[in-house]
Structure 1
Amino acid sequence: MHSRKSLDSFAISLMIILCICWGLQQVAVKLAAPAIHSTVQLGLRSGLAAILVLLLILVRKTPFTLRDKHLLPGLLAGVLFALEFLAISAALNYTSASHVSVFLYTAPIFTVLGLHVLIPAERLQRSQWTGILSAFVGVALAFSGAFAANQHDMADMLIGDALAVLAAILWAATTITIRKSNLSEAAPATTLFYQLAVAAIILLAIAAGRGEPLLTDWTPVAWISMLFQTVVVAFASYLAWFWLMRRYLASRLSVFSFLTPLFGVAAGVILMHDPISLRFALGAMLVLAGIVLVNFRKA
């Protein structure tokens, strides 16, 4: 098993691009929701992306069999992946996309806590824990103004927020499962295929059981949203994420996810004309400061 390394300029640049894509996905789901139910969206994009990944495996002739050592951890990762998306889909029915973004991207907190306990190489120093705290406070501050202005029913909001936190825990559990199993050494396409295929089966089965229509009158916005979610998010960005996880320390990569809700707000400003408050600007600076601290490690 080769050792992971700290982030270099390439990894940092790629993570920023990924965070932009992930920040856009909540807006994409919301934009397509009038035409396609969120659970159907997540199931369809997972299934279509799984087909793309399988084609990539065949073209590259990557060793792959359902009877190899990756099967059980792959199925577990896929189930956790599906449950995370199911929690996100449910959360969006009760609370705002901003709330979901904030609580979903507390996942790095749960990830680094788990990795800190389970993997010696992933243990963080005091300054890095300070960075985690700074980033978390920054995210909370950046969204605090939106919380105050939200008019959703409080009971529904609490349910939605709790589901978003549950999704964050499931995301962290998926990351830890991959790092602590044979999947950590598997080809990125193999890991991604397991997650997408299992998630697609579970999510579409649940959608069908609820009577949610698969084929409806899709609008142009819905088509564009699904294309983005499938090719860019579920296929390309996740493949790049697993490639990074094989080569770099997962706890350092995970902390960059704090940037994602900030990019999500930026997408909201551009696409939905949401205002930017002073709290958001201050929160963004705290997030960036936290990332610098987390990626600084004494020799």
Structure 2
Amino acid sequence: MNSNTSPLIITASIYALLVLIWATTPLAIVWSVAEVHPMWVLIIRYFGASLIALLLLIAMRGALPFDRVSMKSYVAGSLNLIGAQLFIYLAANYLTSGLMALIFGFSPLIAGLIGHVILKTNRLIGLQWLGMAIAVGGLTFVFADSAESKVNPWGIVLMLLSMVSYISSIFWVKQIKAPLKPMSQATGSLIISALASLLIIPFIWQHFPTALPSTQAMIGFVFTMIMSSIVAMLCYFWLIKRLSASTVSLSNVMTPIIALVLGTTLNHEHISSHAFLGILVVMFGIILYFWKEWKAQYFA
């Protein structure tokens, strides 16, 4: 057996695990907020995830510095957590899990647009502009079928706000360039997110959960706290050091498709034929957007 076979299998397994977690997270969120107020679920999730991350960091004998640059980086990272996730949890009341994953699949496109128009860090070519236009057209087609496919305008707005928070966090963390290891960065950002979530309590105290939710809701909650907040984070940072950005970006095509299948089979979410056609158009647009990178990576 080739000496490179084992590392290849490990990398492929971790990649598959990350895609599966990302694809399952929207469904887990929908389940977890079905019986408990979304903000209470979010607060408990981040305090639980912070504790787990802190224990892992101690076990790994990692450092958690509190100097000015590190603290700034933690805050920037928390914008991806408490900022982006807050809007996702609110959107769970308006959209199916599959459509949430589909809309979030636009994040690389929006990041590219921000980099081109505002930050001037990259230049988009004609094929990428065409891919964006096709993807937006497909999403509009899905939106037009809202009566049958449970596409609420508020859900779209909330998911867009989530993407803006997520992308802003990435750019901000990169701009700070704090000399932090991934686990330290993630733990610090989780702690900041947990503390920031306390500010929500006065507005939701009357919705404090008084009984344990159903098994399905608990499964969704535990999944988001452990798999989505901790395991996915470690997989992502492990892969980003070993694979090209174009390879990691393939997940933006696979994740929504898997999420749609999971939502349909496990949560009985209905997607009409018109909406499904729109989803295929969105996927085609995303493929066009990334085609230049993938062609250079795999067909050069």
Is this a same-fold pair by TM over 0.5? yes
Distance 1:113 1:151 in 2: 28
Specify the alignment match of 1:41 in structure 2: 41
TM-score by length of 2: 0.77
C-alpha change, 1:260 and 1:190, in structure 2 (3 Å) is same
Distance 2:19 2:232 in 1: 9
C-alpha change, 1:288 and 1:113, in structure 2 (3 Å) is closer
Specify the alignment match of 1:269 in structure 2: 264
C-alpha change, 1:200 and 1:257, in structure 2 (3 Å) is farther
C-alpha change, 1:109 and 1:282, in structure 2 (3 Å) is closer
8 Å contact kept, 1:255–1:294: no
* Corresponding residue SS for 2:35: coil
Aligned residues: 285
Structure 1 position 280, deviation (Å): 6.8
Give the aligned residue type for 2:18. L
Q: Does 1:64 align with 2:64?
A: yes
Distance 1:43 1:26 in 2: 17
Unmatched 5+ residue regions in structure 1? 1-7
8 Å contact kept, 1:80–1:171: yes
Give the aligned residue type for 1:297. A
Map 1:1-299 to 2 at 5 A.
14-67=14-67, 69-115=69-115, 118=119, 123=122, 126=125, 129=128, 133=132, 136=135, 140=139, 143=142, 147=146, 149-150=148-149, 157-183=152-178, 185-211=179-205, 212-214=207-209, 216-246=211-241, 248=243, 250=245, 253-254=248-249, 256-274=251-269, 277=273, 279=277, 282-283=280-281, 286=284, 289-290=287-288, 291=290, 293-297=292-296
8 Å contact kept, 1:145–1:279: no
CA deviation profile, 1:134-163 (whole Å, cap 9, x unmatched): 8836973895686352367xxxx2222112
C-alpha change, 1:135 and 1:174, in structure 2 (3 Å) is farther
C-alpha change, 1:244 and 1:94, in structure 2 (3 Å) is same
Structure 1 position 168, deviation (Å): 0.8
Structure 1 position 89, deviation (Å): 2.2
Structure 1 position 235, deviation (Å): 0.7
Give the aligned residue type for 2:30. K
* Corresponding residue SS for 2:222: helix
8 Å contact kept, 1:127–1:293: no
Specify the alignment match of 1:4 in structure 2: none
Distance 2:166 2:241 in 1: 17
CA deviation profile, 1:214-260 (whole Å, cap 9, x unmatched): 55322222222122111111110022223334555557635633432
Q: 23-32 vs 246-255, which deviates more? A: 246-255
C-alpha change, 1:57 and 1:73, in structure 2 (3 Å) is same
Structure 1 position 112, deviation (Å): 2.5
C-alpha change, 1:95 and 1:284, in structure 2 (3 Å) is closer
Structure 1 position 75, deviation (Å): 1.4
Distance 1:124 1:75 in 2: 29
Distance 1:61 1:202 in 2: 26
Give the aligned residue type for 1:269. T
Unmatched 5+ residue regions in structure 2? 1-7
Structure 1 position 275, deviation (Å): 5.3
Give the aligned residue type for 1:202. A
C-alpha change, 1:251 and 1:162, in structure 2 (3 Å) is farther
8 Å contact kept, 1:29–1:225: yes
8 Å contact kept, 1:87–1:166: yes
Distance 2:15 2:269 in 1: 25
CA deviation profile, 1:156-187 (whole Å, cap 9, x unmatched): x222211211111111111212222224x521
C-alpha change, 1:135 and 1:257, in structure 2 (3 Å) is farther
Query: Share of identical aligned residues, percent?
Result: 18
Give the aligned residue type for 1:286. F
Q: CA RMSD in A?
A: 3.6
8 Å contact kept, 1:108–1:251: no
Distance 1:151 1:65 in 2: 45
